[in-house]
Amino acid sequence: MSKILIIGHNWPEPSTTAAGHRMLQLLKAFSERDCQIFFGTTAAKTEFSIDLSALGVQEAHFKLNDSSFDDWVGKLRPDVVIFDRFMVEEQFGWRVAENAPNALRILNTEDLHSLRHYRETAVKHEKDFAVADWLATDRAKREMASVFRSDLTLVVSMVEAQFLVERVGVPQTHVLHLPFMLPPLTENETANWPPFKERSGFVCFGNGKHAPNVDSIVQLKTKLWPKIRKRLPQATLSVYGAYLPQHVLQFHEETQGFLVKGWVADLDGVLKKARINLAPLRFGAGIKGKLVDAMRNGLPSITTPIGVEGMHANLPWAGHVATDDNDFINAAVQYYQNPEQWQLAQQKGINIINQVYGHEKLKGRLFAKIDGITADLNTHRAQNFIGQMLQHQSLAATKFMGKWIEGKNKK
């Protein structure tokens, strides 16, 4: 039985974040392969953290910059170690390389953190996106170094996979496009969805700790919703999400149909009752969980090019991709009122879920890649000289810094 160690940035929260859903999918995939799974993090649990022990996963809590991890991982001798985000690889990668050198080291990106951050900065400064400018940032250099040091990097977006290989020069053998792994939508399931006439209202949802989500709500409140509401005076917009900041909570205004409702336990139930999902994303990266959730519940989405990036392969989008504010407003009104157009968008969403996000196909892709690499790990690593060089340098530099911090903490 293979031992899988996942070192998390946080404890998974599938009820609040797309990243939590993604982690749960990975855990289930390894569980279905009868792996022995360990999950550890330096973070504290929250009220939304899932009980991993109920899934047969052994939990561990790690101290940051502490050699107790070295002894623990050396005794565990994992076959595969997954770092959830590059910041975790920076903290623990060298310790794993030194104490469990034969373990396959996988970086799980969720999205390219540096890309999302750069896009946010570009939007705020009204600058056009440029790959060269993104890669020039300190955060991008850190993240790309982490990618190169890893034996394999998982990316959810094909666009980001292409960025890494074609623009950054990461070996193709070291990158795996692995979007969300979802069960198929069956005819029996979709036949029970409420039809157009039984649905009402717009929704916008997302975790309030995620800057693109908060920006979307601000755009709706200040620019988009007043014009939509003027044309649909009886319509309402319900805003859902955990950790919504105070200024968003204060947007609640019943007379304008702008209803800030916060976290909801049964999000699927809410989405099945809504008619249109609004996601005016101006920046971001990776796969947008809100758009996947909408499609899973038969809910068309009005969004942006950033929203659909890497989401639907070459299939038609499940709603409308707006190029400016007026286009967004017109599409929201049109899809809300047109049952034929709405029904067509719903069917497109079913096609996307079943053709792009099929669990069994993607699980097979993941394990075929892992098995292929572990069959000859040394040869695989030899194909990535830059990664070996960075591992050599970072092992010395990061190890020194980690030991210095550890020593300082003991004083």
Q: pLDDT tens for residues 37-96?
A: 999 999 999 888 888 988 899 999 998 888 899 999 999 999 999 999 999 999 999 999
Q: In what order do the strands lie in the sheet with 237-240?
A: 258-262, 237-240, 202-205, 276-278, 301-303, 319-321
| In contact, 118 and 140? CB cutoff 8 Å | yes
- pLDDT at residue 397 tops 80: no
Task: Give the pLDDT score at 19.
Answer: 80
Task: Give the pLDDT score at 392.
Answer: 66
| In contact, 5 and 72? CB cutoff 8 Å | no
Query: Mean pLDDT of all residues in the chain?
Result: 92
Task: Give the pLDDT score at 50.
Answer: 87
pLDDT per residue over 172-195, tens digit each?
999 999 999 999 999 999 999 999
Confidence of residue 385 (pLDDT cuts 50, 70, 90): confident
CA distances from 238 to 118, 197, 199, 200, 327 (A): 29, 18, 13, 11, 21
What span, in angstroms and rounded, lies between the C-alpha atoms of 32 and 40? Answer: 20
Task: Give the pLDDT score at 395.
Answer: 65
DSSP notation for 316-364 = PPSEEE-SSHHHHHHHHHHHHH-HHHHHHHHHHHHHHHHHHSBHHHHHH
Strand extents, DSSP E, 210-352: 237-240, 258-262, 276-278, 301-303, 319-321
Q: Which amino acid is at 324?
A: D
Long-range CB contact pairs, 216-222, < 8 A, 24+: 216/278, 216/279, 216/280, 216/281, 216/282, 217/244, 217/248, 217/251, 218/248, 219/280, 219/282, 220/258, 220/278, 220/280, 221/251, 221/258
What span, in angstroms and rounded, lies between the C-alpha atoms of 193 and 186? Answer: 11
| In contact, 78 and 3? CB cutoff 8 Å | yes
- pLDDT at residue 26 tops 80: yes
Task: Give the pLDDT score at 285.
Answer: 86
Share of the chain above pLDDT 90, in %: 80
What span, in angstroms and rounded, lies between the C-alpha atoms of 120 and 402? Answer: 31
Would you say how long the chain is, in residues? Answer: 411
- pLDDT at residue 365 tops 80: yes
Output DSSP code: residue 152: E
pLDDT per residue over 102-124, tens digit each?
999 999 998 888 999 999 999 99
Higher pLDDT, 370 or 126: 370
CA distances from 146 to 211, 221, 335, 396 (A): 23, 38, 43, 15
| Structural domains present in the chain | 3-181+359-410 (3.40.50.2000), 187-356 (3.40.50.2000)
Residue 123 has φ and ψ, to the nearest 5°, of -65, -45
- pLDDT at residue 400 tops 70: no
